[in-house]
Structures are given as structure tokens and as C-alpha cells.
């Protein structure tokens, strides 16, 4: 392969490595005008490369923010038809369409510094309300094949998968294994992860910790009475007034 970020490496007569380290998309007008983007991965070039594999074992290593749903699903289908042993490994990120490609592996590995990200299909549209409604309906249908793949591979309920996709869920190595996105745990990372990915990885982990703290605080607040909350904030307790309470017109006194 001539593409820098889509390369096959035959290590021996039994094993071939494939590296997908770029956006998942077709060639666009900018590529045609200024030259093809070396980081771009499309289904057609992937098909050509896959046909050159002549070993029984194939490892696909992924570091990609994702891209086109159609290209991702096509590459997933091509890999699913591979007759040998297929292993997929996250070398940093496997986001969006790239996470779909990751799910094609019979053996799927997210190292401790790797992250998955799943979300609904995106698009842009112009037109009247009818065009907007149709676009929304189309996006739900476009998203459904990805939902089906996640459900089939993880065994999780469709409702739970859709909830995670609605939230644009970032999934850590441990979470990926616990939920069935990956099939094996790897504690020692051998991926050559980019500095940007390291930064983003740490940022996502910090945000997850903040989310846990917020949820914990919400539960604590829900369990406290109004007077306990006022006491915690050095405010005078609410004076009980039955008549005022009846009309829900309590006055808060500092």
C-alpha cells in the first residue's frame, strides 16, 4: 500500500498487521484539487489492501477519530468476511465509525491507555420543517446498523446501547471489557500512542471522575431536607407556618 496511514505489514508467513491511523472517509473535492490525503481510509482502498493478505492471522490496529458511517460499515463488512483469525487493537482512539471497525474483531483489545467513543450518526440539512423531520428519521435509520452491531457483539440491551450513543459515550479499557466491547484485558500497553491522544485520554478520565462526583453530590442533596441544606450553608432554618405552608408561600429567612 502507498498510503502512509493505511498499511499492511506482513511480519511472517502466519501474521499480517494492518494500521488504520486516519479519518474514515471517501475522497472529496479538496483531495482531488490538492492531492489525496494520506491519512484518509476508504472502503475501496481497504478492499484492495485486504485482498493482498495471504496469512491466516490478521491484526488491525486502529487510531482514528472516525468519519463516514457508510465507509465504516463497509469496512466492518469486509473484515467480517475475513476467513482467518481477526484481532483488532485500539492504539489510542477508536471513535465513531472507527469503533464500528474495531467491533469486527473476533478478539478485540483496548489497552489501558486506549479509548472507544460511540455516538449517533451526524448530518447537516437545509430546508423547511418537512426536510428537518425527514432528516431526523433518516439519521435514526442510518444509526440503527451501528446499534445492531454493538448489541450483537456486546450482548447489551439495545436500550442501553442507544443511551450510551445519545450521551456520546467515551469508554475506557476496563469499561470496554466489562461491557463486552473488548474480549480481553491488556494491562501493559505496547501501543505507540500520540501525545495528543495521551492528553485527550487523561482529559476524558478527569471528566469521568467529575461526572461521578456530580452524581454523588446530587444523591446527597436529594437525601437531605431543606433545613439540613440551609444549615450546611449557614442559613437560618425555615420557620414552620401551617397557613403559609398550605398556600406554599413560605418565606426564607437568613
CB 180 within 8 A of CB 153: yes
> 222: which 3 cell numbers?
436529594
> 142: which 3 cell numbers?
442510518
The confidence score (pLDDT) of residue 9 equals 78
Same domain, 210 and 231: no
**C-alpha radius of gyration, the chain, whole number:** 24
Give the range of the structural domain holding residue 24, as residue numbers without chain letter: 6-218
Backbone angles phi, psi at 86, to 5 degrees: -115, 125
Same domain, 93 and 121: yes
The confidence score (pLDDT) of residue 191 equals 46
The confidence score (pLDDT) of residue 10 equals 81
The confidence score (pLDDT) of residue 181 equals 97
Tell the burial category of 137 from Cβ atoms under 10 Å away from its Cβ (0-12, 13-18, 19+). Answer: exposed
Task: Catalogue the active-site residues.
Answer: 96, 119
The whole-angstrom distance between residue 28's C-alpha and the CA centroid of its chain comes to 24
Same domain, 21 and 83: yes
The confidence score (pLDDT) of residue 189 equals 45
Same domain, 98 and 157: yes
Same domain, 207 and 242: no
Question: Is the residue at 1 inside a domain?
Answer: no
Same domain, 208 and 124: yes
Q: How far apart are the first and last CA of the chain?
A: 73
Reading the chain (254 residues) residue by residue, the pLDDT tens digits are: 445 545 677 888 899 998 898 889 866 655 555 555 566 688 888 888 888 899 999 999 999 999 889 999 999 999 999 999 999 999 989 999 999 999 999 999 999 889 999 999 887 778 888 988 898 898 899 999 999 999 999 999 999 999 999 999 999 999 999 999 999 887 654 444 444 455 555 666 666 676 777 777 777 666 666 666 666 666 555 555 554 555 554 444 44
Tell the burial category of 129 from Cβ atoms under 10 Å away from its Cβ (0-12, 13-18, 19+). Answer: exposed
The confidence score (pLDDT) of residue 155 equals 95
The confidence score (pLDDT) of residue 251 equals 47
Question: Is the residue at 61 inside a domain?
Answer: yes
Residue at grid coordinates 467529575: 210
Question: Is the residue at 73 inside a domain?
Answer: yes
Question: Is the residue at 78 inside a domain?
Answer: yes
**Distance between CA atoms of 150 and 102, rounded to whole angstroms?**
10
Same domain, 95 and 187: yes
Same domain, 195 and 230: no
Residues 6+ apart with CB under 8 A from 224: 232
Residue 212 sits in a domain whose CATH number is 3.90.226.10
Question: Is the residue at 201 inside a domain?
Answer: yes
The DSSP output letter for 239 is P
Same domain, 247 and 141: no
Same domain, 254 and 154: no
pTM of whole model > 0.95? Answer: no
Question: Is the residue at 169 inside a domain?
Answer: yes
> 80: which 3 cell numbers?
467480517
- The 3-state DSSP class for residue 121 equals coil
Quote the number of domains for the chain.
2
Same domain, 203 and 133: yes
Least Cα distance to 198 among 140, 112, 98 occurs for: 112
Same domain, 211 and 244: no
Amino acid at each position: 500500500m502507498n498510503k502512509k496511514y493505511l498499511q499492511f505489514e506482513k511480519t511472517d508467513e502466519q501474521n499480517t498487521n494492518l494500521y488504520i491511523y486516519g479519518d474514515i472517509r471517501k475522497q472529496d473535492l479538496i483531495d482531488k484539487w490538492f492531492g489525496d490525503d494520506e491519512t484518509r481510509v476508504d472502503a475501496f482502498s481497504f478492499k484492495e489492501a485486504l485482498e493482498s493478505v495471504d496469512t491466516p492471522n490478521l491484526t488491525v490496529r486502529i487510531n482514528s477519530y472516525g468519519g463516514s458511517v457508510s465507509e465504516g460499515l463497509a469496512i466492518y463488512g469486509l473484515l467480517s468476511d475475513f476467513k482467518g483469525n481477526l484481532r483488532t487493537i485500539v492504539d489510542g482512539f477508536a471513535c465513531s465509525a472507527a469503533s464500528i471497525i474495531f467491533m469486527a474483531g473476533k478478539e478485540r483489545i483496548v489497552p489501558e491507555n486506549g479509548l472507544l467513543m460511540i455516538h449517533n450518526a451526524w448530518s447537516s440539512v437545509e430546508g423547511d420543517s418537512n426536510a428537518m423531520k425527514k432528516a431526523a428519521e433518516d439519521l435514526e435509520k442510518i444509526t440503527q446498523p451501528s446499534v445492531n452491531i454493538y448489541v450483537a457483539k456486546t450482548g447489551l440491551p439495545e436500550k442501553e446501547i442507544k443511551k450510551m450513543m445519545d450521551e456520546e459515550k467515551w469508554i475506557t479499557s476496563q469499561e470496554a471489557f466489562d461491557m463486552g466491547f473488548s474480549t480481553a484485558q491488556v494491562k501493559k500497553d505496547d501501543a505507540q500512542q500520540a501525545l495528543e491522544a495521551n492528553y485527550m485520554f487523561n482529559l476524558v478520565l478527569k471528566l469521568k471522575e467529575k461526572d461521578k462526583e456530580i452524581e454523588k453530590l446530587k444523591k446527597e442533596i436529594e437525601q437531605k431536607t431543606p433545613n439540613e441544606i440551609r444549615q450546611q450553608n449557614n442559613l437560618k432554618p425555615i420557620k414552620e407556618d401551617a397557613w403559609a405552608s398550605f398556600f406554599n408561600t413560605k418565606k426564607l429567612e437568613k
